[in-house]
Amino acid sequence: MQIKAGFTLRYQCPQPTPMLLCLHVHPLRRADLLSEQILVFSRPVEAWDYLDGFGNSCTRIVAPAGELTISTEFWVFDTGLPDVVPAEAHQHAIEELPDETLVYLLGSRYCETDLLMPVAWELFGDTAPGWPRVQAILDWVHKHIRFDYGQADRTRSAYGAYQGRAGVCRDFAHLALTLCRCMNIPARYCTGYLGDMGFEVVTEQVQPAV
């Protein structure tokens, strides 16, 4: 299917402000673009792109004082199929993991593995390693965290989501990946944007056979 995507962001800066923008389609999906994605600025700014350590395409600017609008609009193709579930995925021992994956076992500001380690092993220590363990974690988070836009809080961490039992999509992701890390499963948070979507249904009339 073809999806029309885009956004308009408005910033009010009291002084020239360096910005780091992560607003591009990921390089792995660029082949699916049906039209070019270009960032449009309402005022002249110097912009330059680079790839970060996770392979994201980022843009650096210095926003001028006053109002600045950043926008884009493009078409992208997607099959519409759900992600493949790796039901046969094997859980490797830590010593077997590639070096570049070890960072996804560590705690962070939003993923307090030190606080959730006892919880994780109490809840999932008896589950079968591999995908069954990951699925058990996902099911538990889905069952015990209530989605509530009113609970959106940019400072809430995984432990905060566990304690409050409510939040938005990022809270579900933070808690699930932290519990995975506690169980020695490398996990990271991949994010994107997708607002309200409208659908144009095309029907085809089939003439009955005679």
Residues 98, 73 within the same domain: no
**Are residue 73 and residue 104 in the same domain, yes or no?**
no
The pLDDT value recorded for residue 92 is: 95
Q: Is position 112 within any domain?
A: yes
pLDDT digits (tens, 9 = 90+) for 168-198: 999 999 999 999 999 999 999 887 766 666 6
Complete DSSP assignment for 137-179: HHHHHHHH-EE-GGG--TT--HHHHHHH-EE-HHHHHHHHHHH
Q: 105 and 55, same structural domain?
A: no
Give the range of the structural domain holding residue 61, as residue numbers without chain letter.
2-77
9, 22 in Cβ contact below 8 A?
A: no
Q: What is the pLDDT, as a whole number, of residue 193?
A: 65
Separation between Cα atoms, residue 157 and residue 178, nearest integer Å: 10
pLDDT at 197: 63
| Pair (114, 53) in one structural domain | no
Low-confidence spans in the chain with pLDDT less than 70: 193-210
